[in-house]
A and B are shown apart, each in its own frame.
Chain A
Amino acid sequence: MRFERRPSTDGNGQPVRSSNAAARPSLFIRVAAFAGLAFMHLPVLVIVLYAFTTDDRTYAFPPPGLTLHWFDVAFARSDIWAAMRLSLRVAALATLCSIILGSLTALAMSRSRFRAKESITFLLILPLALPGIVTGIALLTAIKFASIDPGFWTIVAGHTTFCIVIVYNNVVARLRRLPPSWIEASMDLGADGWQTFRYIVLPQMATALLAGGMLAFALSFDEIIVTLFTAGHERTLPIWFFNELFRPRDRPVTNVVAVVVMVVTFIPILLAYSLTRSADERN
């Protein structure tokens, strides 16, 4: 499954729910909706199917036979493992940075009121709205200007720029629903700022933080545009895919890796979704 670079509503961690009270939609609308879903998801099924094919060159349908052979091949290739490891390390570190920076920003922005607040909120959201290619070029220029060798740390920094926004959006939405009287009550009962954060604010924003972190992880894991500009000689998993397109050696191996990536990103997204939903229902 592809996770879009510019998600429209996931930033608030709020699933859009349709009302049950509405009348049943017409047959045409329902058929159109299923056609739309099929258009989006059938190509994904094709990838899964051809991870098991015995034909290593074409996409002939139906596949001449099914096999698990390509899983063995993929498993044995060290370049895949290296790319996978790098991507996981980058995603983990970018997520950690964005959890710390994003939640600190959210805390600062939600508890204060000042004139430039609107502009700063806009600047915070901008990296997510900006085309990745602009972010990439800007970062590459900055890296060259500072004469840093592009590599692991520049990828992490690049990913953090837009992962922060995901965490920030999730946490700030939760903090907005936190009644100020809870914080006042805590202080009133003798808790200082740190204790109030530890016992009241953190438990309240924990699920939002976790959800934001998981989305950020998934976003970083399959990011390619910004990565191309900041990676130097490093090869993350999406870059490995990109290269495979021009060197179609053992084509089903690419599909096998795609299936694995799908599973790796799908699990945290599902978890994040159920976490925010249960927290919403509790409140």
Chain B
Amino acid sequence: MTTAIEFRDVTKCYGNVRAVDGVRLQIEAGEFFAMLGPSGSGKTTCLRLIAGFEAPDSGQILLDDNAVTALPPYERDVNTVFQDYALFPHMTVLENVAYGLRVRKVSRAEQQRRALEMLALVKLDAMAPRRPHQLSGGQRQRVSLARALINQPRVLLLDEPLGALDLKLREEMQIELKNLQRRLGITFVFVTHDQGEALSMADRIAVFDRGRIEQLDTPRGLYTRPNTAFVAKFVGGANVIEGALAQRLAGGASHDAPAFAVRAENILLGDVRNSAATDVMRCEGTIVDVQYHGAASRYQVRLSSGELLTAAAPDSIHQAHWRVDSAVSLSWSRDAVMPLQAAAASNST
């Protein structure tokens, strides 16, 4: 596999804020790559650096092993699907899609033919003579996709492309995007703050926090082996246990890591009773909140030592008597424990 995009120690500051802070990154050709993080974590800036809308303060950006750091956007073999779609309102749908060919001085007939082909690919050929404002949100999204793909870029950048769509449309577009990427074999780089979207679509995910990559892994790797407390919480909302409680539960020397994470769905809720199984970790507390989610309910439990943990349990009849203020025990198998790096170590990656 060849490298489609490489970041070599890229830093970008806005005033005193380091939006991107010494990022090193390699994205393989043909990969569906997600940049995941909260707003202000630097993921969108990274995307804009690849597109050429921003120039890094230091470091190098390579596309197909060629340095492009100094090239303007129109000289990069990369196209972007914008968050607001950025369709040109004074042009028809067809003219929007053909724009990339028009500015490259392709003949009019060829423009027409290929633009219609692209529109057929996103199933919108019937909309060709319309204006963007006559389309629905989902249709505009697909037009902007067709427009970005018409120049057959090596890399397609997508900036929160599904953010403005409603839930049902979003799920459909996730599948459609994934199919499109498989069919075209183009590298997709996808920016999102929605961990579910990243987990379900991407081959690999870079989790961003404060301008740095916290962890770069496959979706399964991120979910089952988060490196840091930030990743454990941000991806799947795991319980992070550290400090005195971690020491007590781990039983001293059995774990080197001073902190670990446990997923809510791996925590078993039970009535308070004495049991002495040795392969489980166990603690007790009081339920402070119950959220019903259909298939499962999420219970917030305040431990006697003050920490707040979340357990998810399938909604079965014998659990229905747990409500706020019920005393419960929490237990989980040692296999479910995900050791984390100390906070200090995670900041120096």
- B-contacting residues, A254-283, CB 8 Å: 282-283
- Indicate whether A184 sits within 8 Å of B103 (C-beta atoms), given known contacts A190-B151, A200-B88, A204-B90: no
A-B contact pairs, 10 of them (CB 8 A): A179-B84, A184-B53, A187-B72, A188-B52, A188-B148, A189-B74, A189-B100, A189-B103, A190-B151, A199-B103
- Bound: A111/B103 CA distance, A: 22
Residue interface bits A187-228, CB-to-B below 8 A is 1, else 0: 111111001000110011000000000000000000000000
Residues in B neighbouring A110, C-beta threshold 8 A: none
Are the CB atoms of B99 and A188 closer together than 8 Å? no
- Indicate whether A192 sits within 8 Å of B88 (C-beta atoms), given known contacts A181-B82, A199-B103: no
Having A181-B86, A185-B86, A204-B90, one finds 14 other A-B pairs with CB under 8 Å, namely A184-B73, A184-B80, A185-B88, A187-B53, A187-B74, A188-B73, A188-B148, A189-B99, A190-B104, A191-B74, A192-B72, A192-B74, A200-B88, A203-B90
- Bound: A190/B104 CA distance, A: 7
Are the CB atoms of B88 and A188 closer together than 8 Å? no
Are the CB atoms of B103 and A195 closer together than 8 Å? yes
Q: How far is the CB of B46 from chain A (nearest CB, A)?
A: 15
Residues in B neighbouring A181, C-beta threshold 8 A: 82-84, 86
Q: How far is the CB of B10 from chain A (nearest CB, A)?
A: 19
Is the C-beta of B79 less than 8 angstroms from some C-beta in chain A?
A: yes
Residues in B neighbouring A54, C-beta threshold 8 A: none
Interface residues of chain B: helix, strand, loop or mixed (majority): loop
Counting from the closest, the 10 A-B pairs by CB-CB distance are A185-B86, A181-B86, A189-B100, A191-B103, A187-B73, A188-B80, A203-B90, A181-B82, A190-B74, A195-B103
Residue interface bits B70-103, CB-to-A below 8 A is 1, else 0: 0011100011101110101110000000011011
Give the contact-size bracket for chain A: 10 to 19
Is the C-beta of B51 less than 8 angstroms from some C-beta in chain A?
A: yes
- Indicate whether A184 sits within 8 Å of B74 (C-beta atoms), given known contacts A190-B100, A190-B103, A195-B103: no
Is the C-beta of B140 less than 8 angstroms from some C-beta in chain A?
A: no
Query: Which residues of B are in contact with A by a Cβ distance under 8 Å?
Result: 51-53, 72-74, 78-80, 82-84, 86, 88-90, 99-100, 102-104, 147-148, 151
Residues in A neighbouring B51, C-beta threshold 8 A: 184, 188
Are the CB atoms of A189 and B72 closer together than 8 Å? no
Are the CB atoms of B99 and A186 closer together than 8 Å? yes
Residues in B neighbouring A282, C-beta threshold 8 A: 89
Output the residue of A188, A195, A282 with the most chain B CB within 10 A: A188
Contacting residue for B147 out of A182, A187, A189, A199, CB 8 A: A189
- Bound: A283/B132 CA distance, A: 12
Instruction: Tally A-B pairs: CB < 8 A.
Output: 64
Q: How far is the CB of B51 from chain A (nearest CB, A)?
A: 6
- Bound: A185/B51 CA distance, A: 10
- Bound: A189/B51 CA distance, A: 10
- Bound: A204/B151 CA distance, A: 24
Residues in A neighbouring B100, C-beta threshold 8 A: 189-190
Residues in B neighbouring A187, C-beta threshold 8 A: 52-53, 72-74
Are the CB atoms of A182 and B86 closer together than 8 Å? yes
Are the CB atoms of B74 and A179 closer together than 8 Å? no
- Bound: A184/B54 CA distance, A: 11
- Bound: A283/B133 CA distance, A: 10
Are the CB atoms of A188 and B84 closer together than 8 Å? no
Residues in B neighbouring A182, C-beta threshold 8 A: 86, 88
- Bound: A182/B53 CA distance, A: 12
Query: What is the chain A residue whose CB lies nearest that of B97?
Result: A189
Residues in B neighbouring A186, C-beta threshold 8 A: 88, 99, 103
Contacting residue for A185 out of B72, B78, B80, B151, CB 8 A: B80
Residues in A neighbouring B78, C-beta threshold 8 A: 188
- Bound: A249/B84 CA distance, A: 66
Residues in A neighbouring B73, C-beta threshold 8 A: 184, 187-188
- Indicate whether A189 sits within 8 Å of B79 (C-beta atoms), given known contacts A184-B73, A195-B103, A204-B90: yes
